[in-house]
Amino acid sequence: MKIGFIGTGVMGAAMARNLMRAGHTLAVYNRTKSKALPLVEEGAELCETVAACAAGRDMVITIVGMPADVEQVYFAPDGILENADRGTLLVDMTTTEPSLSVRIHAAAVSRGLRAIDAPVSGGDVGAREGTLSIMAGGDEEDFEAAQPVLACMGSLVVYEGPAGSGQHTKMANQIAIAGAVAGVGEALSYARRMGLDLERTIQTLSAGAARSFQLESNGAKMVSGDMAPGFFIKHFVKDMGIAEREASDAGLSLEVLAQVLEMYRSLEARGLGELGTQAICKYYE
């Protein structure tokens, strides 16, 4: 399949590479061109503009930074919607506002294009190994058309419902993580203050109702003091901010999410946004 791929950061480059390995023909665009060059050496076509990357493709995949970047690459005059060929399937894999995904879908349909939202979880390791979880929203037949391509990048590819449902599922994922990682941070801060053996504490807690991925993965990092990012605080703050606004727009007040977001924002304000989410333990020091 001829695929235009826009956004070749850490995640995007690894995902694009898996598509090329599976035999797809890639054209790539990145705002900072240097980050796209390794893929060009591996056989991708380099595009100088979004428009060039969008035109003449069967599918256009985007994974860029913030909702404003998504807005720009889709809706600008030289963007995807104005330049993709009729019938092209647009796949936004950025974690972004569900309402933006709905707007992209509507704009695509009105132009004879097709669009799904398909944010991912699983981090850079999942992107490299092709084991991402991919949460997709849109028209079901468009999902089915995209599914074989998505399966090159993820080991779990789920159709969640109409446009925006992939984003909403990703938001639910981040909301659950917010509570879990904060609970682990507080539990281990308490255990440290009370003089417990922290490795033993994790071992004991992992055997019962407190068991979680966050305890096993981020908890162990809190204990060893490894603050390297598996998932950046700055990205988590972005995601939680979107989730809080969406919930609030729907009349839903999520108080634990709001509390955890405030804690991470204060860490970001202390200059710790480039650390991993396990650095929530620093909030209690």
Q: Which residues are catalytic?
A: 170
Q: Please tell me whether residue 38 binds a second copy under the rule CB under 8 A.
A: no
Q: Please tell me whether residue 84 binds a second copy under the rule CB under 8 A.
A: no
Q: Please tell me whether residue 207 binds a second copy under the rule CB under 8 A.
A: yes
Q: Which residue has the tokens 């068991």?
A: 211
Q: Please tell me whether residue 194 binds a second copy under the rule CB under 8 A.
A: yes
Q: Please tell me whether residue 182 binds a second copy under the rule CB under 8 A.
A: yes
The distance of closest approach from Cβ of residue 168 to a second copy in the complex, given in angstroms and rounded to an integer, is 4
| Identified binder of a second copy from the candidate list 68, 224, 256, 274, rule CB under 8 A | 256
Please, what sign has the CA dihedral across residues 122, 127, 132, 138? positive
Please, what sign has the CA dihedral across residues 147, 148, 153, 157? positive
Quote the CA–CA distance of 192 and 196 in Å, as a whole number.
6
Quote the CA–CA distance of 80 and 160 in Å, as a whole number.
24
The distance of closest approach from Cβ of residue 172 to a second copy in the complex, given in angstroms and rounded to an integer, is 4
Q: Please tell me whether residue 135 binds a second copy under the rule CB under 8 A.
A: yes
| Identified binder of a second copy from the candidate list 173, 220, 227, 235, rule CB under 8 A | 173
* Alpha-carbon distance values, 206 to 41, 189, 215 (Å): 45, 16, 7
Mapped onto helix, strand or coil, the DSSP state of residue 265 is: helix
Q: Please tell me whether residue 71 binds a second copy under the rule CB under 8 A.
A: no
Quote the CA–CA distance of 37 and 189 in Å, as a whole number.
44
Q: Which residue has the tokens 């909301």?
A: 175
Token digits of residue 90 = 């647009």
Q: Please tell me whether residue 186 binds a second copy under the rule CB under 8 A.
A: yes
Binding region for a second copy (CB under 8 A):
98, 121-123, 133, 135, 156, 158, 160-161, 164-165, 168-169, 171-191, 193-197, 200-201, 203-205, 207-215, 217, 231, 243, 246-247, 250, 252, 254-257, 259-260, 263, 284
